Amino acid sequence: MRGATPLRALLGLQLVFMLGFSSVVPFFAAIGQSRYGLDAAAIGAIVGARVAAQQGMFVVGGALADRWGPRALLTAGCLLRAAAFAVIAWSPSAPAFVAGVVLVGLAGALFSPAVDALVGAVDAQRRGGCDGATLPGRGPSPFAALALAGETGGLAASLAAARFMPEHAGAVSLISAALFLAAALYVRRLVPRHGQAAEGIRPPAPAPSFGADAGTSPAGPTPERPILPAEPVRVVPLAIACSALLAVYTQLFSTVPLALAEHGLPAAHMGAVAATLSAATLALQWPISRLAERLGRCTAVMLGLYTASAACLTAFAGQLLLGPGALVGLFCTVAALAGVAMMLSIPAAQSLIAGRSGRRRATRLALLPSMGGLSALLASLATGTVAGNFSTLAAWPLVGALPAVLLPLAWYALRPAHELRHHSKCTPTAAGTGLEKELIP
């Protein structure tokens, strides 16, 4: 993989992205209310439009990254997001503000799949081109490191911007725009011009198969090198199964606030829930990544689905048995469990979907957040309806059943990778030991 982008540079880029993003996006509701007098329903629609624009267009962004290379999509996404924040900074009316919010989402759909594809290429290199290999050393997996960098940047930006928002939203938005302009220049130096070739793609590539029987090893089968699938997992079923994780995670910001209000508790307690989630991610992402490698990525995905169901069961039992005074602690525990589920499953699933083949890697990886966004939307609509007609207590079993129901689909999707882990004899090459050197001084 000569010409691959260094992981440390990609982590720095992700940190910059989240610094710019989280300085403004968490405060969209406050900006809309203070500047334009928008009500709660309008704010909800605007935020939903941003999420739909980003999640819904991920696959398109992935396909474009595979077609034109990650460098072009990263540059275009950074420039579009800089323009979006400039629109928000100078928007004279609510329609202009809405346009800027939607452009923020579209920009993310352009560059996020490209970043994931580049990290997937690094992950494949670390494993020495073997889908059954386990990463050596003490460092986190590349996708876990990416999540950790993003969480660090997001938390730092949110805390720093909170004291200036929404009164100085224009200035903060312009600073975020400048960060993305700088990131666009950084991308031009960081990412090779022919990013596809660096990942082993030789366009025009034959159409990929998302199934388990997509092809064989380029070197051909031998007694020491059996016939291996081009991709180690069934991608679409795995993306559908893992979408349950985001559905559960989303309940922290939809059902939990409703439950607090239902018991007469102030919405400010959501700050403790969000802080617990961030602290858990920063403290546990690294060790959980190493645990996932020791257990095996397939086991980590399955364990994450079990943990997501356990988080909902904990919320249900706690609301049923505990008094209002204990609910904040309960929901902090639920947030930690939901975070652990994501930390176990998502980096492992991303690594498996990235595979050892560079063909359509960005498109394959983009399926995961797209399916997750759709599942989160449908789950939130369902739980909101149930909570409105009955109570939030009835909503938790509904969403908690989703990961459990999708466990058989996850096993079906992961079975080829499980067989590779137990039957292939390949091990990580010397290149696979470099991750620890990049992340640990």
Separation of alpha carbons 57 and 118, rounded Å: 19
| HEC string for 341-360 | HHHHHHHHHHHHHHCCCCCC
Do 106 and 241 belong to one domain? no
Answer for the pair 249, 372: CB distance below 8 angstroms, yes or no.
no
Do 180 and 257 belong to one domain? no
Do 186 and 302 belong to one domain? no
Q: Estimate the crossing angle of helix 327-354 against helix 94-126, to 10 degrees.
A: 60
Answer for the pair 81, 107: CB distance below 8 angstroms, yes or no.
yes
Looking at 169, 198, 227, the residue that finishes a domain is: 198
Do 291 and 154 belong to one domain? no
Do 25 and 169 belong to one domain? yes
Do 274 and 189 belong to one domain? no
Query: Any idea which residue has 């670390």 for tokens?
Result: 126
Is 270 contained in some domain? yes
Do 54 and 150 belong to one domain? yes
Do 20 and 66 belong to one domain? yes
Which range of residues forms the domain containing residue 339?
Answer: 235-424
Answer for the pair 276, 256: CB distance below 8 angstroms, yes or no.
no
Spell out the residues 6+ positions from residue 286 whose beta carbon is closer than 8 angstroms to its own.
Answer: 139, 140, 144, 148
Mind listing the pLDDT tens digit of every residue in the chain (441 residues)? 445 568 888 999 999 999 999 888 888 878 888 888 887 667 767 777 777 778 778 889 999 988 898 889 999 999 999 999 999 999 888 899 989 998 998 999 999 999 999 998 888 887 765 555 566 667 788 999 999 999 899 888 888 888 888 888 899 999 999 999 999 998 888 887 755 434 443 333 444 444 433 333 444 444 444 444 445 788 899 999 999 998 898 888 888 888 888 888 887 788 788 888 888 999 999 999 999 888 888 899 999 999 999 999 999 999 999 888 899 999 999 999 999 999 999 999 998 888 766 778 888 999 998 898 888 888 888 888 888 888 889 999 999 999 999 999 999 988 877 666 555 545 444 444 444 444 433
Do 37 and 186 belong to one domain? yes
Separation of alpha carbons 348 and 421, rounded Å: 13
Is 122 contained in some domain? yes
φ/ψ region of 215 (left if φ > 0, alpha if ψ in -120 to 50, else beta) reads left
Is 220 contained in some domain? no
Is 183 contained in some domain? yes
Is 209 contained in some domain? no
Its pTM stands at: 0.80
Is 355 contained in some domain? yes
**DSSP states of 282-336 as a string?**
HHHHHHHHHHHHHH-HHHHHHHHHHHHHHHHHHHHHHHHHS-GGGHHHHHHHHHH
CATH of the domain at 53: 1.20.1250.20
Do 271 and 329 belong to one domain? yes
- When divided into structural domains, the chain yields a total of 2
Do 190 and 244 belong to one domain? no
Is 400 contained in some domain? yes
Answer for the pair 123, 142: CB distance below 8 angstroms, yes or no.
yes
Do 324 and 415 belong to one domain? yes
CB-facing half-sphere around the CA of 394: CA atoms within 13 A: 10
In order of 253, 300, 339, 351, 354, the CA distances from 240 in angstroms are 21, 16, 19, 16, 16
